[in-house]
Structure 1
Amino acid sequence: MHEAPIIDLGGFRLDLSVLLMLVVTSLIVFVICKLATRNLSVENPGKLQNFLEWAIEFVRNLISSTMDMKKGQHFLTLATTMIMFIFVGNMLGLPFGVVTGITEADQAKIAGQPLVTVVEAFNKAHEKNPEAHPHIEIAWWKSPTADLSVTMGLAIIAFLIAHGLGLFKNTKAYLKHYFQPHWLFFPINIVETASKLLTHGMRLFANIFAGEVLISTIMKLTAFKWIGAIAAIPLLTAWQGFSIFIGAIQAFVFTVLMMVYISQTVESHEEH
């Protein structure tokens, strides 16, 4: 496996590849939306405008399946941004990867900051064999959603929005549901709420991470010269096509669950 370029800042480990990919994902989504809305036209809409209108209508239908659109209309921008961000993030690791290699621990620095995981990899290699000359590879380009911290961050955002709205906008019904059907169920309801947060983020991470691991495994077939390369091409093509489908489904599932959780907190039991 490739090492991640992680630096230590004040006791916090910051993965530079994740930071890079979050910026790239945000820029791609921003550029798509900017281009799609640059020359809006009712009579002769462009392809990107048609795509954005279709995406918004798709998300509108998604929201309406979870709550009354009188309330759901307020979350249209949130849901559209979330599904686009996750889909683009899921796709970034498919077309190619950027990997650099170093042979000396002294080279493992960015702006004077040591890459701690790379230095640790060198130290482990030298502990096993002091005479070894390891070649450590660093992955810079990958899907940001293949990192658990990113997917859990997105899940926490959805969690805070849902429960913040429930607590401040629907206080009585929100607090009451923790004690239903009986007050003895309070601990169970708390565990259920926490489990939703964990599964929301881990489901997305597990699917995208597994896909990238399999792509890396298929790429290793090229080490077997031309026979491995010939075998890798159809396998890689098939899996990347399937990964596009999985990436789209996971973006959809994450957004649907977010809207379901929001609907459960902003609507009272009688409204369901």
Structure 2
Amino acid sequence: MHESPIIHLAGLDIDLSIVLMLVVTCAIVFLIARLATRNLSVENPGKMQNFLEWVVEFVQGLISSTMDLKKGKPFLSLGMTLIMFIFVGNMLGLPFGIVTEYHDASKAHIFGHELVTVTEKLHTEEAAHPGEEAEVGVAWWKSPTADPAVALGLAGLIFVMVHFLGLTRNTKGYLKHYFQPFWFFFPINLIEQFSKLLTHGMRLFGNIFAGEVLISVLVQLGSSGPIGTVASIPFLVIWQGFSIFVGSIQAFVFTILTFVYISQAIDTHEEH
């Protein structure tokens, strides 16, 4: 596996590849939305408008399957943003990757900042194999959702929003459900909430990361020689197709779970 381009900035470790890919993902989603709404027409809608209408209807279906549509309509934009952002993010690492090689720690700098992961790896390799030229590959292009910080960050935003909605829109029922069916279930119900946060984010990260790891292995197999190239091509094509399916499913699962959690928070029943 290649290293991530991490720099120290203001006491934080910043992964530049993740920053880059988040910007690219946001730009693509914004561009799709802009093209789909640029020339709206009732009589002769374009392909992009038809696509956007399909997304709206699809997300409305997700909302209506988890809560009353009247209560869920304010979350339509949230659902559309989530499913498009996660889908695009999941797909970005599939078609290709951008990797740069570093051999000299003194050149492992960008914007005046040291790429700490590269320099540390080079020093480790040089110490382990003195006299040999060390080489470190840095991956700049990958799916942002294949990083646990991004996946858990998205899940964390939903977690905060869900509990804020529960406290403000359904205060009595929301607080009461922590002590159901009996008061001593409070610790278990509290643990359940944090387990939702972890599973919501880690499910997305695990599936996308595993897919990219296998693609990387197949690419390395293809570069091992003529036999490896011939053997890897069919597996790479098959896995690329399967990864598109998995990426689509994970965007769907993350979005519908968001609506499930919102529904549980704002519409708590006695039996919940």
For the criterion TM > 0.5, the same-fold answer is yes
Q: Distance in 1 between matches of 2:255 and 2:221?
A: 36
Q: Distance in 1 between matches of 2:270 and 2:185?
A: 20
1:268 aligns with 2:268: yes
Alignment of structure 1 residues 113-132 onto 2, 5 Å? 113-132=113-132
Q: Distance in 2 between matches of 1:5 and 1:85?
A: 23
The residue aligned with 2:151 is 151
The aligned amino acid for 1:198 is L
| Residues 19-55 of structure 1 deviation map (CA, whole Å, 9 limit, x = unaligned) | 0000000000000010000000111100010001001
Q: Distance in 1 between matches of 2:134 and 2:15?
A: 22
Alignment of structure 1 residues 96-175 onto 2, 5 Å? 96-175=96-175
The residue aligned with 2:10 is 10
1:35 aligns with 2:35: yes
1:179 aligns with 2:190: no
Superposition RMSD in Å: 1.1
Q: TM-score when scaled to structure 2?
A: 0.98
Q: Distance in 1 between matches of 2:234 and 2:250?
A: 24
Answer yes or no: is the 8 Å Cα contact 2:177–2:268 preserved in 1.
Answer: no
Q: What's the CA shift for 1:123?
A: 1.4
Q: Distance in 2 between matches of 1:268 and 1:189?
A: 14
1:222 aligns with 2:215: no
Q: TM-score when scaled to structure 1?
A: 0.98
| Residues 110-141 of structure 1 deviation map (CA, whole Å, 9 limit, x = unaligned) | 11100111111011112212222111110000
Q: Distance in 2 between matches of 1:10 and 1:37?
A: 40
Answer yes or no: is the 8 Å Cα contact 2:102–2:136 preserved in 1.
Answer: yes
The aligned amino acid for 1:188 is I
The residue aligned with 1:22 is 22
Q: What's the CA shift for 1:271?
A: 9.6
| Residues 43-75 of structure 1 deviation map (CA, whole Å, 9 limit, x = unaligned) | 110001000100110000011000001110010
Q: Which runs of 5+ in 1 are unaligned?
A: none
Q: What's the CA shift for 1:268?
A: 2.5
The residue aligned with 2:66 is 66
Q: Percent identity at matched positions?
A: 64
Name the SS for the 1:207 alignment partner.
helix
Q: State which drifts further: 262-271 or 174-183.
A: 262-271
The residue aligned with 1:85 is 85
Q: Distance in 2 between matches of 1:106 and 1:93?
A: 29
Q: Distance in 2 between matches of 1:127 and 1:4?
A: 21
Q: Distance in 2 between matches of 1:48 and 1:270?
A: 44
The residue aligned with 2:205 is 205
Instruction: Report runs of 4+ in structure 1 exceeding 6 Å deviation.
Output: none
Q: Which runs of 5+ in 2 are unaligned?
A: none
Equivalences, count: 272
Name the SS for the 2:66 alignment partner.
coil
The aligned amino acid for 2:20 is L
Answer yes or no: is the 8 Å Cα contact 2:2–2:138 preserved in 1.
Answer: yes
